[in-house]
Structure 1
Amino acid sequence: MKLILRSSFTVLIALGTLCAQWAQAASPSPDQLQQVVDAAYARFKDVTDGKNADYIPILATVPSDMFGVVIATKDGKIYSAGELDYVFSIQSVSKPFTASLIMHEQGAKTLREKIGVEPTGLPFNSKLALELYPERSVNPLVNAGAIAAVSLVEASSEEERWRKVLGNISDYAGRPLNVLEEVYNSEYESAWSNRGIANLLYNYGRLYSDPEEALRVYTKQCSIGINTVDLAMMGATLANSGVNPKTGKRLLDAEDVPELLAIMATAGFYDESGEWMYSAGLPAKTGVGGGIVAVVPGKFAIATFSPPLNEAGNSVRGMKAIRYIAGELGVGLYGPNHEE
C-alpha cells in the first residue's frame, strides 16, 4: 500500500511538470472570467444543503447564507461576485501555507522527512492515523501534520513562532491579517482532541516544540481572519509560482510549488480528496470555516466562502461553484471536467 501511495505521489509530481507546460496555453479572457464567476454565484446561491460546523461553538453562529466567489489571476486581477468583505476564520485552509513556510525555510526534504506527504484516507482530526502509520504524522494538511508543521517553524520563542506564522499568511494575502479573538478563545477552550494529538506526537518524537506551545500557535493560525479576496490572492500566489501578484514578494521557491500543489491535490479535501480530484481536477484546500481555495497553476486561483458544510467538512456551495467554474473553463489539470 505504501509503495502504491509513493508511486502515486511521484506521478502527481510528473503531472505537475506537464501542468506547467499546459499553463502556457491561452487563458480565459477577462469577460469570460467575470461571466463564469457571476454564473456560479447565481447558480448556487440558493443551495441550502449542509450545515455550519458546530464542534467549534462559535462557527455555528456565522450567518449560513453568506456566499462569495472570487477569481484572482496570477497578475493580481480580481473577478468577484457575492459576499467579499465578511471576515471569517481561515481554519484548515491555512495548512498548506504554513507547510510552504517550512519548505521555504528548510527545504521540501524536511517537510517530507519530519512530517510526511502521504494522504491518510481518514478524517482530518483522526488519532487512529497516528497509530496506523509508523511515521505518526504523515501529512501537513491533517491536524497532526499541521500541528507538527507549526512546531517545525524556526523560532527561539512562542512569540517568534507565532509572528512568523502570522507574517507568512499575511504575506500570502498581501495585507496584514489578525486573529479573530472570539474564534481563538472558542477553539482553544474546546481543543481537547487537538491537545491529545499534540501530546501523542510529542511522545512519539514527531513534535519539535513544547506541545502546548504548538497547540496555541496552531489554534491561533486557524483563527486568523480573512475574506474571500484575501483567500483568492493566497491561491494566486501559488498560481504565480510562489510570488504574490499584489506585492511582488516571493514566498516559495518556484521549484517547490509543484510539490505543495501535489499535497493539496492528494489531501486538500481530507478523506474526500479523491472524489474532489475526480470531479474538479484542481489542487485545493478547504476549511471548516467555510473557505475553499483552488489553484490553476500558471493562471489563477478560485476562492469561495460559504459556511454550510457536508459530512466531510467541506463547503457545499463552494465545492459546487469551483467545480462549475473548472468545468466551464476547462481548466482541470487532467483535462476538462464536465459539471455533474
Structure 2
Amino acid sequence: MPRVLDDSLILLSVRPTGSGFSVEALYAEAMESPIQRHLDDLLQDVSRITDGRPYSVHPPGRDPDPDAFGICLATVDGHVYTAGAAADTEFSIHSISKPFSYALALADHGLDAVDEKVDLEPSGDPFNEISLSPDSGRPANAMINAGALAVVAMLKGGGGKSAPRRIVDFYSRLAGRRLSVDQSVYDVEIRNSDRNHALAYLLSSFGIIDDDPTRALKNYLRQCSMQVTCRDLAVMAATLSTGGTNPVTGEDVIDIESVERVLSVMMTSGMYDDAGSWASSVGMPAKSGVGGGTLAVLPGQAGLAVYSPPLDRHGSSVRGVETCRRLSRDMEMHFVRAARSGGSAVRRGVSITELPSRIRRTEEEASVLEQFDDACRIIAVTGDLHFAATESLVRAVSGLDAHVTIVVLDMRQVFEVSDLAVRMLEDLRRRLLADRRRLVVIEGGGLLEGTPLDGEDGVPIFSGRGSAVEYCEDLLLVEHGDAVAERTRVPVLESPAISPLDTAQRSRLVTYMEPRAHEDGDIIRRVGQRFGGVHFIVSGRVNTVGTDPSGSRVRLNTLSAGMTFGELSLGSEDRQEVTEKADGPVELMVLTPEALERLEKDDPPLAVGLWRALTRDAYMLVDRYLRETAVRLRY
C-alpha cells in the first residue's frame, strides 16, 4: 500500500511526445515556482559581493549604479524568469554584441570566407590586446576586439539598409523587440577608442579590413552602443540555445551551422583570458561585456543573462561571473551534465475522469468523480529529467489552481533523472504539502530508488498508471464523505444494472437467482467456458483478466458491489473471452442459464425487461470506454 502523506493529492504523468517543450498553465492562480525562488535567493546572496568597479567610459552624468543587479533565465519554450529590479534596466551591450555580429557575417559570407579573415583559436590575451598572426595578420578569434573589428568590416549594407541598420535589425529579431543605439554612448566611445582605432588600421595593413578602417571602427562602436536589458540578452541567449529559433517569437533567426560555430568560439574564447577557468567551473558558452552584462548558453535548454556593472580585471561583471558559477553548480548547467536534447517534453494535463482507473465505478461514484475531477490532474513529460524538462514540469505544476489537490507524475517513459531533478521535485513536494496537496509518482524502473522521494517521508510510488489512478479515485471518494464512498454491499434489489425494473419485477427476479461465495483468488469464470449465467456482485471485488498482444496476462478492470458480469459472453459465440477472478472474498447472486430459460418461459415480460436493462447497462459501459479511448489516443 502506498504511503498516505495527508488528505490531498497531486498527479503528474510522463510520456514521450517528440521534440521540444510545450507547457501551458492550466489555471490562472499559481504557486510560486521553486526556480523563481532560487533565483530570488541567489540574487540576494550574490548582491552582498561588492568587489569590482564599473566601466569608466560613459556619458556625463550617467554613471552606472554599482548596486544595480538583475538575473534572467529564458527557457527554450519561451518562458523568462526574472530576479532583481534591474532585470529590465537598459544598458550598453558592448562586447556581448560580438557573437551575434559573427553570426550575421557567417550568414552573409559562409564559414570559409569568414575564416579567411578571423581565426578560431583562443588567444589567452585580454579582450583589447593588439595581437595578430605574424603570417596572415588574422586575429585569433571573433571574441577579442581585433576579431570583432574584422567581422564588422565584413558586414555591408543591402536591401536599402546600411550596415549599422542591418545590425540593429538582426539584434532586434534575436531579442524579440525593437532595439536602438544610444547616440550619447557612441559619442563618448568614439572619443575613447584610440586603441581600437590602432587595431583597425593594423588589420587594414594586413588586408583583413579591405575598406575604410575608420568606418569599420564606427560601425563596431555603434554595435557596442546598442541598448539592451537583461531580459533581452536572456532571450538572445535562448535563441542560440534552440539552434537559432527565437523561443518567444518563433522566428528562425540563425541557421544551425552558424549557431554551432558561434557557440564553439564562445566556449573557447568568449571569456578572454579567463576562458579556461570558465569552461571548467561554469561549462557554458558565454560572453561578457564591460557594460556589466554577462550572457551564457546551455544548448538545448536555456539562456542566462546577468546585469551588474562592477567589473573584474578581465572586464567581466563580478556578480555576473559568480551568478553563472553558482547556477551552473546548483542547477547542473555545465555542458558535461546537460541532458540529451530533443527528447523531453511536458504536455497539458487531463482530468482524472478522462483517464480513469480500471475500477468500474457505480453511477453514483462516477458522478462524484466527475464532479470533483478538477481536483486531480494528469500532466505528461518524457525523456530525461535534467534542468530544462524538470523546469517545464515544475512550472506546469506551479501553474495549477489551488483547488487542484490531486496530481500523478508518471515517469514510465523517463530515461534519466538528475540529482538536480530530484532536488527540484523534492522541493516541489514540500511546497505542495505546505498547501495541503500531494505528489504521487508512477515509476517502475527504480529511477527514484534511494532518493528522498522514495524515503519514509517521500511520495506514493506506483509501477502502473491504473493502480495510481485507482488510489487517487479512492482518496477522492473517501475525502468527500460517506455519501460518495464505495458501497461494500449492494443487494440485488438495489443493483444499478436492473434499476429500470420496478420493485415488484426486481423482487420476482431474485427468486430465480442462487447465491454463491468465493474466496480470494478463486477463478469464478475461466476464458473459453460456455455462457454460465449473469452474475450480480453483492459484495467484494472481481478482477477481469485478459491477454495482451504479447501473450501476457493483464488486469483489464475491477468490478465491485452492484455490478454484473457474464452476460457479454452471449455476444461471443456463448464463450467466455476473459477470466473473472475473486479479489478477496466475494458474494454473488447468479441467474444461471437454466434459470434464465425458466424466466423466459414463466414470465416473458420480466425477461424482456431484464435484457433491456442489461443492454442499457452494457451500452453505457461501451460508450464510456469509447470516450476514454479517444482521450488516450490524444494523450
Q: TM-score, normalised by structure 1?
A: 0.86
Q: Which amino acid aligns with 2:281?
A: S
Provide the residue aligned with 2:225 in structure 1. 223
**Structure with greater contact order relative to length (CA < 8 Å, sep ≥ 6):** 1
Q: Counterparts of 1:88 and 1:79 in 2: how far apart (Å)?
A: 19
Separation in 2, partners of 1:212, 1:25? 45
Distance 1:107 1:281, change over 3 A: same
Task: Give the Cα–Cα distance (whole angstroms) in 1 for the partners of residues 282 and 51 of structure 2.
Answer: 19
Please say if residues 306 and 315 of structure 1, whose CA atoms lie closer than 8 Å, have aligned partners that are also in contact: yes
**1:166 maps onto 2:163 in alignment:** no
| Comparing 162-171 and 282-291, the one that deviates more | 162-171
Q: What CA distance in whole angstroms lies between the structure 1 residues aligned with 2:54 and 2:61?
A: 7
Structure 1 residues 123 and 60: alpha-carbon distance in aligned structure 2, compared to 1, 3 A threshold: farther
Matches within 5 A, 1:100-119: 100-119=103-122
CA distance in 2, matches of 1:199, 1:265: 28
Q: Structure 1, residues 112-152: CA drift from partner, whole Å, max 9, x if none?
A: 2221211111111111x126564432211111110111111
Q: Residue in 2 aligned with 1:329?
A: 331
Name the residue aligned to 1:88: 91
215-224 vs 241-250, greater mean Cα deviation: 241-250
2:101 aligned partner, one-letter code = T
Higher strand share: 2
* Partner Cα separation in structure 2 for residue 150 and residue 26 of structure 1: 35
CA RMSD of aligned residues (A): 2.5
CA distance in 2, matches of 1:113, 1:334: 31
Equivalent residues of 1:91, 1:223 under 8 A apart: yes
What residue in structure 2 maps to residue 50 of structure 1? 52
CA separation in 2, counterparts of 1:298 and 1:170? 22
Change (3 A) 1:214 1:124: same
Q: Output one character per residue of 1:258-281: Cα deviation in whole Å (capped at 9) or x when no partner.
A: 221110011111111111111101
1:192 and 1:242 map into 2 onto residues whose CA distance is: 35
Greater C-alpha radius of gyration: 2
| 1:249-308 CA-partner distances (Å, limit 9, x unpaired) | 212112332221110011111111111111101110000000011001001111000000
Contact 1:53 1:60 in 2 (8 A): no
Deviation digits for residues 168-215 of structure 1 (CA, Å, limit 9, x no counterpart)? 111111111111122111101111111110011011100132111111
Question: Which one-letter code corresponds to 2:37 in the other structure?
Answer: Q
**More deviation, 327-336/163-172:** 327-336
The correspondence for 1:198, drawn from 197, 200, 209, is: 200
Gaps of 5+ in 2: 1-18, 23-31, 339-635
- Give, in whole Å, the separation in 2 of the partners of 1:203 and 1:135: 9
Aligned length, in residue pairs: 312
Q: What code does the residue aligned with 2:178 have?
A: P
Shift of 1:335: 3.1
Q: In percent, how many aligned pairs have the same letter?
A: 37
Give the equivalent residue in structure 2 for 1:271. 273
* 1:199-233 alpha-carbon deviations (Å, 9 max, x no partner): 11011100132111111110000000011000101
2:186 is equivalent to residue 184 of structure 1: yes
**CA distance in structure 2 between the partners assigned to 1:206 and 1:237 by the alignment:** 30
Question: Shift of the alpha carbon at 1:35?
Answer: 2.9
- Shift of residue 58 of structure 1? 5.9
| Long gaps (5+) in structure 1 | 1-23
Which runs of structure 2 are paired with 1:1-340 in the superposition (5 Å)?
31-55=33-57, 61-82=63-84, 83-127=86-130, 129-130=131-132, 132=134, 134-155=136-157, 160-335=162-337
Q: Per residue, is there more helix in 1 or in 2? A: 1
Contact 1:269 1:284 (C-alpha < 8 Å) held by counterparts: yes
CA distance in 2 between partners of 1:147 and 1:158 (Å): 23
